[in-house]
Amino acid sequence: MSFRTSRLADRYFHLLQSLVLPRIPSLLARPNRLTCLGLFFALLAPFGFWLHPFSGFLCIGFSGLADSLDGMVARSRQEGSRYGAFLDSSLDRISDSLYLLGFWVLFRESSFFIPASVGIFIGLILTLLISYSKARAESLGGKCSAGLLERDLRVVYLLIWSLILSFAPRAEAVVLWTGLVLYLVLTMMTVVQRMRHIRTILTD
């Protein structure tokens, strides 16, 4: 079952619908503007992490919030469009990259900076491959929601990782490396799961 259809996600979107959506300023109450706002906060994420992990946590959180709201606004105002969906998906890939760049900044003083950079780079490739495999499968007529670490869960994972870093400064190196290794394992598992699923549904 997808995270987006889980009870926790239902509760999250219900809170947004009742508490946040009615309070969005009219200037931002357009789907594409919220999509761009999400990218804006993602652009701030590396600088946020450079200041403090909690600042990075806030940047990712606000970016994810805007990304959640753009679809809700599109449905509530009946302003959904194919271009809007394309824009949202495209900017999400940029945001994914910027989130990881924020964690890369935290490795800047590590004596193992080069291995960490390689790990972040591999994580970025796997992250983009997860999204690309789904998009490509659907363009060929299949449907693909398989895989453990879909985008919603990836954002939740990064939020938890950054939050732990915020409150465990003495163990920052351990948390950084543990979080990176676990992220690589989970994204690799997701890629393998999706590849197997796509092979099943697209086999002629």
pLDDT of residue 25: 73
Q: Which fold has domain 3-202?
A: Four Helix Bundle (Hemerythrin (Met), subunit A) (1.20.120)
Q: Catalytic site residues?
A: 92
pLDDT of residue 56: 97
pLDDT of residue 147: 76
pLDDT of residue 122: 97
pLDDT of residue 199: 85
Tokens of 138: 């659907």
pLDDT of residue 138: 82
Q: What is the pLDDT along the chain (204 residues), one digit of tens a residue?
A: 466 667 776 787 778 777 777 777 776 677 888 889 999 999 999 999 999 999 999 999 999 998 888 877 877 777 767 888 888 889 999 999 999 999 999 999 888 999 999 999 999 999 999 989 888 888 887 777 777 888 889 999 999 999 999 998 888 899 999 999 999 999 999 999 998 888 888 875
User: Please, which contacts does 138-147 make with residues 24 or more away whose CB atoms are closer than 8 Å?
Assistant: 140/202, 141/202, 142/198, 142/201, 142/202, 143/201, 144/194, 144/197, 144/198, 144/201, 145/2, 146/193, 146/194, 146/196, 146/197, 146/198, 147/189, 147/190, 147/191, 147/193, 147/194, 147/197
Angle (nearest 5°) at CA 91 between 78 and 141: 70
Report the amino acid identity of residue 114. I
